[in-house]
Amino acid sequence: MTSPYPRPSKDQQAQLLRSIVERCARAPGDRAPIVVFDLDGTLMDNRPRTAAILQELARELHSEAHGEAERLASAKTEELAYLLGDSLRRLGVEHPDLVHRAESFWRARFFSDSYLHHDIALPGSVEFARACYETGASLVYFTGRDLPLMGLGSFQSLRDLGFPIGVVGTELVCKPDAAIPDEEFKRAEGPKLSRIGRVVAAFDNEPGNCNAFAEMFPQAHSLFVDTQHLPGAPPLDGRVRVVTDFEM
């Protein structure tokens, strides 16, 4: 599917990302530079999590001799959409009862610590985050995941994938309650990032969040990671730059 956003060339993206790493060097007397990262769809691809859940449901259906089991078992990461309902339609699963069952089965697992190990790092994301950290930036993982259900798993996932976490100069910031809309949470909590330093770049896969960062931190780079996002998103603010991943 062709992206509606103006994607840079590989050389342009690499140059932009390298310039951000350079801005992570802390000058004498300056406030600590901060790089802000969302997780789902930004540093990590969470589609393998959904694929694993659908395949688990397929095994359950297979034990019941359900005719749709094979359709769910065929779920492939690269074919999954942002919304589960769209993914189910792509798989040919349309019976209302099974759609409802699949959505309930998925929801109970997708938003939980125990399935986050299925997520994979976006190309170059680990290396880029480490380069920013090693150059001198503090890293803030600013996610729409909630602390009660996904905090521990998020920490473990970041650690296991190789991102700097659990060391001085890193923070994981989660929503206190899953019911809070992501953009509302980030608009409310984002300005508080200035307490710990100077934001030099913020990455997110939701246009609304990127626009919010451009407003909050006009001296920083606000970067939209063009993977998947919620349908009906607003147009990107003209100050927001676009990248496809983190390869330099």
List pLDDT tens digits, range 185-232. 999 999 999 999 999 999 999 999 999 999 999 999 999 999 999 999
Residues 154 and 232 in one domain: yes
Residues 84 and 106 in one domain: yes
What pLDDT score does 65 carry? 61
What pLDDT score does 158 carry? 98
Final residue in a domain of this structure, among 93, 117, 141: 117
Residues 113 and 168 in one domain: no
What pLDDT score does 154 carry? 98
Final residue in a domain of this structure, among 66, 97, 117: 117
Residues 36 and 127 in one domain: yes
Encode 71-85: b = buried (16+ Cβ within 10 Å), e = exposed.
Answer: bbbebeeeebbeebe
Site of tokens 């691809």: 45
Residues 16 and 97 in one domain: no
Residues 86 and 140 in one domain: no
What pLDDT score does 190 carry? 96
1 pLDDT more than 60: no
Pick the range with the lowest mean pLDDT from 32-46, 65-79, 196-210. Answer: 65-79
The percent of residues above 90 in pLDDT, for the chain, comes to 87
Could you list the residue range(s) of the whole structural domain that residue 145 is in?
A: 10-46+120-243
pTM of the model: 0.95
Task: Give residues with Cβ within 8 angstroms of 190, minimum separation 6.
Answer: 142, 212, 213, 216, 217
Q: What is the mean pLDDT of the chain?
A: 94
The percent of residues above 70 in pLDDT, for the chain, comes to 98
**Exposed, middle or buried by CB within 10 Å (0-12, 13-18, 19+), for 59?**
exposed
Final residue in a domain of this structure, among 98, 117, 136: 117
Domain count, the chain: 2
Residues 41 and 54 in one domain: no
What pLDDT score does 137 carry? 97
Residues 220 and 197 in one domain: yes
